[in-house]
Chains A and B, each alone.
Chain A
Amino acid sequence: MSFWERATDYLPLLMEGVWLTLVVTFFSVILSTFLGFVWAVMAWTRIPVLVALSRGFVTIIRGIPIIVQLFYIYFVMPEIGINLTAMQAGIIGLGIAYSAYQAENFRAGIEAIDKGQIEAAHSIGMTDQLVMRRVILPQAIRIVLPPFGNTIIMILKDSSLVSTITVAELTRQGQLIAASTFDNMTVFTLVALIYLALSLPLTFLTRHLEKRYSQA
């Protein structure tokens, strides 16, 4: 059988994996963006308790390997009575792990806005919330977007880590097929190509954004 014939045999199963990879990636991006934004805003408030909490969280999360965080959520949580499906544990684990990187990116975007504008906004009576919504965010988003694209690519690739907690996403499907067919060459070439096909559009989009916003 040729490469292509064997590939057609494996593709339906791999595509099931692709679907779960996309689901894990999608929800991890949402969760990490939300949490990362919360950490960044907490740091921005200058309220000591919130700043300390935010910094503490981010430091802890960044200091632990993602795979250990996944194991922790999937294997340890049930022991304290929190049962999660592998899928839920994977999304929560990746979401929390990446929230630290997102927070750093958002924080940099917020800090980049000229302080004078923020004072001007305060001087016309804007509350902190309004300053955030009308002055900081619309400008920070241009700064934050290109690195955000990179983060999505990283999450897509690192979603393969959830294969270790039994989520049948692309990498795990690949492993299962390879284990039963011993056709490592075909299977992992396909897996690699599929990841590439998923990430390349994001890479180009990110480069496009970088170019566009670096001029402005």
Chain B
Amino acid sequence: MIQVQDIHKSFGTLQVIKGVSFDVKKGEVVCIIGPSGSGKSTILRCINGLETYQRGSILIEGAKVDPASRAITDIRTQVSMVFQRFNLFPHRTALENVMEGPVFVKKMNRAPARDEAVALLDKVGLGAKLDTYPAKLSGGQQQRVAIARALAMKPKAILFDEPTSALDPELVGEVLAVMRDIAAAGMTMVVVTHEMEFARAVADRVLFLEGGAIVEQGSPQEVLRNPQHPRTQDFLHRVIHPME
């Protein structure tokens, strides 16, 4: 469903992505792990057309992602994104945040859009917070609203960029639980994360990225339990034993 083919990306002279290729099949959950600065966010942003790339191609169900083309807004309605810092619209309530896309991008009528948004907020456990503004929600709640906002577009896939990294530890679980439900419901997901437990339990495939290239990939069993490449071993060791 998502085909990333040999993409290269530089910021000025800094080469950030050096030939990355992978496919994501429908209903698959792919987790991307890797050290800071390895290009994880950049890859997600390229898939969503928020960033241009210089070489290679990205196809969503065969349609090329090209930020310069008008069709990019269509592609973005098919692939939603959830950000590390939630990025909710602060001047709108939880419900309005979720309705924004369906009503103004998809031109849905307000009444059915509202019903769907209420159902989604219920599903992420925020049925009681419909009219609350983001500033009055905890980080975990904000992120769940952001997930509902992504789901409201009925996307073919959702990209998550470290969705729990900005959260207090006690709030991580509630967000991961929602993501696990979405995965179980068959959503195609690409998740950049440092939550190895989540990757182990939910991912179909794990990619280890370093220096803008995929160093190792495979099932969570293979990559997380029994990594072959010394770089992967080293990274996992540091994630699991941060104090050493």
Contact = CB atoms under 8 A, between A and B. Distances in A.
A125 B105 contact: yes
Contacts of A135: 89
A114 B106 CA distance: 24
A212 interface: no
Contacts of A127: 73
Interface residues of B, number: 25
A116 interface: yes
Contacts of A120: 81, 83, 87-89, 146, 149
Contact of A134 (B85, B100, B106, B150): B100
A122 B91 CA distance: 17
B113 to A, nearest CB: 13
Nearest to B101: A124
A123 B85 contact: no
A139 B91 contact: yes
B93 interface: no
Given A116-B85, A130-B104, A134-B100, A123 B91 contact: no
A119 B105 contact: no
A12 interface: no
Contacts of B146: 120
B102 to A, nearest CB: 9
A138 B88 CA distance: 14
A123 B48 CA distance: 7
Contacts of A119: 50, 81, 83, 87
Contact of A123 (B81, B89, B104): B81
Nearest to B75: A125
B178 to A, nearest CB: 18
A126 interface: yes
A124 B87 contact: no
Interface in A121-172: 121-127, 130, 134-135, 138-139
A117 interface: yes
Contacts of A138: 91
A116 B153 CA distance: 19
Given A138-B91, A139-B90, A139-B91, A123 B80 contact: yes
A155 B76 CA distance: 44
Nearest to B79: A123
Contact of B76 (A116, A124, A139): A124
B87 A117 contact: yes
B141 interface: no
Contacts of B104: 126, 130, 134
A29 to B, nearest CB: 25
Interface in A28-70: none
B193 interface: no
Contacts of A117: 87-90
Interface string B12-54: 0000000000000000000000000000000000001110000
A134 B104 CA distance: 9
Contacts of B85: 116
A124 B80 contact: yes
Contacts of B105: 124-126, 130
A126 B149 CA distance: 13
8 contacts: A114-B87, A117-B90, A123-B48, A124-B80, A124-B101, A125-B74, A125-B76, A134-B104
The 6 closest A-B pairs by CB, nearest first: A125-B77, A120-B87, A124-B101, A116-B87, A123-B81, A125-B76
Interface of B: 48-50, 73-74, 76-77, 80-81, 83, 85, 87-91, 100-101, 104-106, 146, 149-150, 153
Given A114-B87, A124-B150, A124-B153, 15 more contacts: A116-B85, A117-B90, A120-B83, A121-B89, A122-B49, A123-B48, A123-B80, A123-B81, A124-B77, A125-B74, A125-B106, A126-B105, A130-B104, A135-B89, A138-B91
